[in-house]
Chains A and B, each alone.
Chain A
Amino acid sequence: MITTMSLRDSLLDSAKEVFETMAFMALEEVADEQEGPGLENETLLGTITFKGDLEGCLAICCGCRCARTIGANMLGADPDEPMSDNDMSDAIGEVANMVMGALKARIQEEVGTMEVSIPSVVRGRELRNSLGERASKISVMVNLEEEHSVQFSLLYRESQA
Chain B
Amino acid sequence: MGKSLMIVDDSATMRKIIMRTVRMSGLEFDRTEEAGSGVEALQKLQGGPVDVILCDINMPEMNGTELVKKARELPTCSNTKIVMVSTESAQDLIDQVMHDGADGYITKPFTPEKFQEKLTPLLN
A residues less than 8 Å from B118 (CB atoms) = none
Main secondary structure of the interface of B (DSSP, over half): loop
Interface contact B20-A75, CB-CB below 8 Å: yes
Which of B10, B16, B88 has the most CB atoms of chain A within a 10 A radius of its CB? B16
Query: In the complex the two chains form, what is the Cα distance from A102 to B87 in whole Å?
Result: 7
Interface contact A90-B12, CB-CB below 8 Å: yes
Interface size, chain A (Cβ < 8 Å): 25
Interchain nearest-CB distance for A74 vs B (Å): 5
Interface contact A87-B12, CB-CB below 8 Å: yes
A residues less than 8 Å from B20 (CB atoms) = 75-76
CB-nearest residue of chain A to B14: A94
Q: Does A39 contact B (CB under 8 A)?
A: no
Candidates A90, A91, A116; contact of B87 at CB < 8 Å: A116
Interface contact A105-B89, CB-CB below 8 Å: yes
Q: Does B111 contact A (CB under 8 A)?
A: yes
Q: Does B123 contact A (CB under 8 A)?
A: no
B residues less than 8 Å from A21 (CB atoms) = 109-111
B residues less than 8 Å from A105 (CB atoms) = 89, 107
B residues less than 8 Å from A93 (CB atoms) = 11, 13
Which of B59, B60, B109 has the most CB atoms of chain A within a 10 A radius of its CB? B109
Contacts A90-B12, A94-B14, A101-B108 supplied; 4 other A-B pairs, CB < 8 Å: A74-B13, A87-B13, A102-B87, A118-B60
